[in-house]
Structure 1
Amino acid sequence: MPPPSHLAIATGSVKRLLKEETSYRKELAHQEAQLKALQDKIEKGEGNEDGNGEFIVKQQQTAIEQTKAVFGPLRERLDAAVVKLEDQIKLREQSGAPEQEMEAAQAILEQVKAEKDASS
């Protein structure tokens, strides 16, 4: 079996980074929901029996901030991977690449564009 082409590697990198970003977005949503539930419990007087409710809230807020901090560098890596993929597509269009690889690369670029538009 021949090694994967540079186009396939670039496509895989973009796909992996998109998956990673989606995972972090889900984690952030989950953390924010937990924080809201905890704050609601404390407001009702239910979640502070041992007196550390405020500490737990601060810990949860710190975790949320740490998760949010991941998005900047991750987006930079994703943008760089997209540029590399676009370069590989241009090279492969000139030299001829398997149709299946070109379709996969174009599809992942469309997905990146759609997700970027949705998050803006």
Structure 2
Amino acid sequence: MPAPSQLVIATSSVLRLLKEEVSYRKELVDQEAKVKVLEEKVKSGQASEDGNDEFMLKQQQTAVEQTKAVFQPLRTRIADAVNKLEEQIALGEGGGAPEAEIEQAKTVLAQAKAE
């Protein structure tokens, strides 16, 4: 089996980064929901048996901030990967790359630009 072309590699890279971003966004929503539940619990005075709700709240808030910090560098990596994919599409169209690879790359490129 031949090694994947640079076009396929660039396409896979953009697709992987987009999936990574979706995963982080889902994680952020889950973390924010946990923070909200803990905040309500602390405000209402419903302490748990071990009494560490305030500590757990701070830990969850820290986790939310760390997850938010991932997005800017990730967007930069996605932008770089998109640029490389655009270059590879141009090279593929000029160099006779298989039409299926070019179409797949254009589909992923359109998806990346839509987000």
Q: Give the TM bin, normalised by the shorter chain.
A: over 0.9
Paired with 1:11 and 1:29, the residues of 2 have a C-alpha distance of 28
Counterpart in the other structure of 1:110: 110
Contact in 2 for aligned 1:47/1:53 (Cα 8 Å)? yes
Number of the residue aligned with 1:118: none
- Tell me, yes or no, if the aligned pair for 1:7 and 1:89 is still in contact at 8 Å: yes
Q: What residue ranges of structure 1 are gaps of 5+ in the alignment?
A: 116-120
Query: 1:60 deviation in Å?
Result: 0.7
Q: Which residue of 1 aligns with 2:71?
A: 71
Looking at structure 1, the residues matched to 52 and 16 of structure 2 have their Cα atoms a distance apart, in angstroms, of 39
Counterpart in the other structure of 1:60:
60
Does 2:13 match 1:13?
Answer: yes
TM-score by length of 1: 0.90
| TM-score (structure 2 length as normaliser) | 0.94
Q: Which stretches of structure 1, 4 residues or more, deviate above 6 A after TM superposition?
A: none
Deviations 1:60-106 (A, max 9, x none): 11000111111111111111111000000011111111111011101
- Which amino acid is 2:37 matched to? A
Residues in 1 aligned to 2:21 and 2:83: alpha-carbon distance in whole angstroms:
17
Identity %: 63
How many pairs align? Answer: 115
CA distance in structure 2 between the partners assigned to 1:57 and 1:48 by the alignment: 12
CA RMSD after TM alignment: 1.2
Cα contact 1:38–1:47 (8 A) shared by 2: no
> Any unmatched runs of 5+ in structure 2?
none
Question: What is the match of residue 89 of structure 2?
Answer: 89
Once the two structures are superposed, what CA deviation does each residue of 1:32-73 show, in whole Å capped at 9, x if it has no partner?
A: 001001111222222354332221111111000111111111
